[in-house]
A and B are shown apart, each in its own frame.
Chain A
Amino acid sequence: MIQLKKIDKYYDAKFQRTFVLKGVNLDIEQGEFISIMGPSGSGKSTLLNIIGFLDEPSQGEYLFLGDPANKLKEKQKVQYHRSHIGFIFQAFHLIEELNVYENIETPLVYRGVKGKERKALVADMLDRFNIVAKKDLFPSQLSGGQQQLVAIARAIIGKPKLLLADEPTGNLHSEQGEMIMKLLKKLNDEGMTIIQVTHSKENAEYGDRIITLKDGYVREK
Chain B
Amino acid sequence: MLRFHLKMIKRNFLKDKKFLFNNILGLTLAFTAILFIYSWITYEKSFDKFYENSSRIHRFTVEFADAGSSRHFARVNTSWIKEFPGFFPEVEEMVRLVPGRNSSLKINNNKFYSQGVFSTDSNFFNAFNVKLIQGNANAVLDAPKCAVINQSIAKKYFGNENPIGKQIDWAHQQVPDFSTFTVTGIMPDFPKNSHFHPEILLSLDDPSQFAQWNYLYLLLKENTKPEAIQAKFSSFKNTYIEDEKSRESLVFHLQNVQDIHLYSHKDREIELNGDVRSITVLSIVAIVLLVVITLNYINFQIASVLERNTYFNVSKTFGAKRKSFVAQLALESVILIFISSIVSLGIYMLALPVVANWLNIDLILSTQTTLVIYLLALLFFVFLGVGCSIYPVFMSKMNGTISSLRIFNSGKSTSTDFSVRRVLVILQFVGGIGLIIATTVIIKQNQYLLSSRIGNEQDNIINLIKLPRKAIDNYEILKTELLKYPEILDVTATMEEPAGEVMDAFSYELEGMPEEDKDKVIYVLTTDDNFNRFYGNEIVAGEDFSENGDNTTKYLINEAGLKFFGYTNPNEIIGKRFKYNIPLPEKFFKEGYIAGVINDFHISTMQSSEKPMLLYNQPFFNYCVGIKYDPKRTSDVLVTLQNAWTKVNPDFALQHHFIDDLYFKLYKNQIRQSRFLILLAVVVLFISSLGLFSIAVYGIRKRTKEIGIRKVNGAKTGEVIVLLNQTFVKWVIISFVIAAPIAWFAMNKWLESFAYKTEISWWIFVGAGLFIFAIALITVSQQSFKAARRNPVEALRYE
Contact = CB atoms under 8 A, between A and B. Distances in A.
A-B interaction: yes
B7 interface: yes
B7 A106 contact: no
Given A97-B8, A102-B7, A110 B315 contact: yes
B78 interface: no
Interface string A23-43: 000000000000000000000
Contacts of B401: 49, 54-56
A86 B318 CA distance: 7
Contact of A82 (B7, B8, B318): B318
B799 to A, nearest CB: 11
Given A56-B400, A98-B11, A109 B1 contact: yes
Contacts of A82: 318-319
Contact of B319 (A55, A79, A98): A79
Interface string A109-125: 11110000000000000
Interface residues of A, number: 31
Contacts of B314: 87, 93-95
B310 A95 contact: yes
B647 interface: no
Contacts of A155: 318
Interface string A98-138: 10001000110111100000000000000000000000000
A107 B319 contact: yes
A98 B6 CA distance: 12
A45 B313 CA distance: 15
Interface residues of B, number: 24
A154 interface: yes
Interface string B282-321: 0000000000000000000000000000110111111111
A97 B15 contact: yes
A78 interface: yes
B347 interface: no
B319 A81 contact: yes
B405 interface: yes
B317 A52 contact: yes
A55 B311 CA distance: 18
Contact of B310 (A56, A79, A93, A106): A93
A168 interface: no
B1, B7, B313, B402: most-surrounded residue (chain A CB, <10 A) = B402
B12 A97 contact: yes
Contact of A97 (B11, B317, B409): B11
B4 interface: yes
A158 interface: yes
Contacts of B409: 45
A56 B4 CA distance: 30
A54 B409 CA distance: 12
Interface string B5-40: 001100110010000000000000000000000000
B324 interface: yes
A112 B319 contact: no
B321 A49 contact: no
B780 to A, nearest CB: 27
Interface string B303-344: 000000011011111111100100000000000000000000
Contacts of A98: 7-8, 11
Interface in A148-183: 154-155, 158
Contacts of A93: 310, 313-314
Interface in A35-73: 45, 49, 52, 54-56
A209 B4 CA distance: 40
B1 A55 contact: no
A111 to B, nearest CB: 7
A188 B175 CA distance: 112
B4 A54 contact: no
A95 B7 CA distance: 13
Given A54-B401, A54-B405, A95-B311, A109 B4 contact: yes
Interface in B400-427: 400-402, 405, 409
Nearest to A92: B314
A79, A95, A155: most-surrounded residue (chain B CB, <10 A) = A95
A89 to B, nearest CB: 8
A94 B317 CA distance: 12
A111 B319 contact: yes
B402 A55 contact: yes
Given A97-B11, A102-B7, A109-B4, A54 B318 contact: no
Nearest to B322: A74
Contacts of A85: 317
A109 B11 CA distance: 17
A96 B313 CA distance: 13
Contact of B318 (A45, A87, A97, A112): A87
Contact of B316 (A81, A83, A102): A81
Interface string B492-524: 000000000000000000000000000000000
A96 B15 CA distance: 10
A79 B405 CA distance: 20
B405 A78 contact: no
Contact of A78 (B7, B12, B319): B319
A87 B320 CA distance: 13
Nearest to A58: B400
Contacts of A96: 15, 310-311
Contacts of B315: 95, 106, 110
Contacts of A78: 319-321
Nearest to A97: B11
Contact of A87 (B7, B317, B321, B324): B317
B320 A110 contact: yes
8 contacts: A45-B409, A52-B317, A79-B319, A81-B317, A86-B317, A98-B11, A102-B7, A109-B4
Given A55-B405, A94-B314, 8 more contacts: A54-B401, A56-B400, A78-B319, A80-B319, A82-B318, A95-B310, A97-B15, A110-B319
